[in-house]
């Protein structure tokens, strides 16, 4: 089924590979989210020029670009591809990392269980856990920056509000971040 849809999309002239943040009309919205499911590799992590005013050590998430920036200072940041909240689940604001966990256990929140009663009530940490290799807990919210075993979802709006990263990238970020780190989430 996935192959048939991908072939149809290619036949319609739609690109499946990631492009620049402002490449065209299919960069955001439901079609982009649908097409991003077919990516075969994650968005590479890289050090980039950064003109923001945030202090070094700040995490900045652009939900529109579907990128997370870890501000290094001196006009630079590490940029990661991320998965963000799907329509109706995106959010913006300022939070603080209040806890860090390696291979965290997962308990779906009541709101998620109401939508998806088929989900388990608890999953121990490990390879199959949806929180992946690491999690950064954001204040008293239900949201986290966490790993994912689905690298093909990076660059897409597919979550229930959490910021997803590849396991490799979340381990890198986890090692840079301390409890108390400021997290800015923007549209």
Of the residues 134, 146, 153, 161, which is catalytic? 146
136 assigned to active site: no
The residue that leads in pLDDT, 100 or 128, is 100
Q: Which pLDDT value is given to residue 156?
A: 94
Of the residues 68, 97, 131, 162, which is catalytic? 162
Q: Are 133 and 104 in contact (CB under 8 A)?
A: no
Tokens 């920056």 belong to 145
Average pLDDT, the chain: 83
Q: Which CATH superfamily is domain 2-186 in?
A: L,D-transpeptidase catalytic domain-like (2.40.440.10)
Report pLDDT digits (tens) over 107-162: 988 888 999 999 999 999 998 899 999 999 999 898 999 999 888 899 999 998 89
Q: Are 142 and 108 in contact (CB under 8 A)?
A: no
86 assigned to active site: no
Q: Are 147 and 24 in contact (CB under 8 A)?
A: no
Report pLDDT digits (tens) over 41-74: 568 999 999 999 999 999 999 999 999 999 999 9
């Amino acid at each position: 089924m996935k192959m048939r849809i991908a072939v149809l999309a290619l036949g319609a002239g739609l690109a499946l590979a990631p492009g620049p943040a402002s490449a065209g009309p299919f960069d955001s919205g439901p079609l982009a989210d649908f097409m991003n499911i077919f990516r075969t590799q994650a968005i590479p992590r890289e050090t980039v020029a950064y003109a923001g005013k945030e202090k070094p050590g700040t995490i900045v998430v652009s939900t529109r670009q579907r990128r997370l920036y870890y501000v290094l200072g001196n006009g630079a940041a590490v940029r990661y591809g991320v998965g963000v909240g799907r329509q109706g689940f995106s959010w913006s604001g300022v939070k603080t990392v209040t806890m860090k966990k390696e291979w965290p256990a997962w308990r779906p929140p009541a709101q998620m269980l109401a939508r998806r009663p088929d989900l388990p009530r608890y999953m121990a940490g490990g390879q199959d856990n949806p929180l992946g290799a690491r999690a950064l807990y954001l204040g008293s919210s239900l949201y986290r920056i966490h790993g994912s075993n689905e690298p093909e979802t990076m660059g897409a709006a597919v979550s229930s509000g959490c910021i997803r990263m590849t396991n490799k990238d979340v381990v890198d970020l986890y090692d840079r971040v301390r409890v108390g780190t400021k997290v800015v989430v923007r549209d």
